[in-house]
Amino acid sequence: MQLEWYSPKSTFLHAWDTRWKLFSILLLIGTSASVTSFAALLALLLAAIILCALAHVTSASLQSMLSGPLFLCLIMLPVIALTSGGETLFQFGYLRLFREGILTATQIVLRLLTIVLLLVVLLTTTRFASVIAALQRLHVPGKLTLLIAYTYRFIFVLIDDLGNLMRAARLRGYRLQSTIMHFKTSTHLLVALLVKGYDQSERVQAAMTLRGFRGIAQTLEQQHSSLPDIFLTGAAFLVTVAAIALESMLS
């Protein structure tokens, strides 16, 4: 299980101060989630693609992070296109393809691709510890920062534990099927995972308390702003303003 997508390279996006980078990426993501015009969405998608190219993102990173969202789109988009209502473009029996559904589905695809590509840029050019340090320096509530950090750290442990439980069950003849017996077995596996996770959380809490943890994440990350950081953040702000301007002009 891959814990981090960071790829050490010598690009100016890697050298971009994490606080400015995080603020800019979140600004672009928020803008992409709020605009509805195709011109604004395409402009933001183009900006995300340019950032991926400048960050030298590998095809393997793109494939690993885009496969899940694209598979979800393949499941959801036909349902949206066939059930949204409105003007009918094509009809085959009881199935109707609606114009509004196609437009909505296209907007969802553009928005999702933009957000995922921006997250790819953030995660491949920034260590996760730097993101946590930047959240602290941006005065994000400490409990929320710790929740993000520990969720990211231990979700992989839980997935590995679930894989071990499933592997042990399969060696004993278990197969994932839609019967009452297999449903009971799956329930037992999930309960065992929850109990194991709870016991592990108590051990982690005891270990951290013994090491002097007082609810504040300590980090050795040193972050300093420079003129290129401000320039890159200004460029992201200009892209946001341009997208909002396109949205207002075409609405």
Domain definitions of the chain by residue range: 12-138+227-250, 142-210
Residue 186 neighbours by CB distance under 10 Å: 15
pLDDT confidence tier of residue 181, bands split at 50, 70 and 90: low
Residue 242 has pLDDT above 80, yes or no: yes
- What separation in angstroms does the CA of 115 have from each of 2, 28, 65, 164, 182? 20, 8, 11, 33, 38
Residue 1, classed as helix, strand or coil, is coil
Q: In angstroms, how far apart are the furthest CA atoms of the chain?
A: 68
Per-residue pLDDT, 241: 94
Positive or negative, the CA dihedral 221, 222, 228, 233 is positive
Residues 130 and 223 sit within 8 Å (Cβ to Cβ):
yes
User: Can you tell me whether residue 107 is helix, strand or coil?
Assistant: helix
Q: Provide CB contacts within 8 A for 15, sequence distance 6+.
A: 228
pTM here is: 0.77
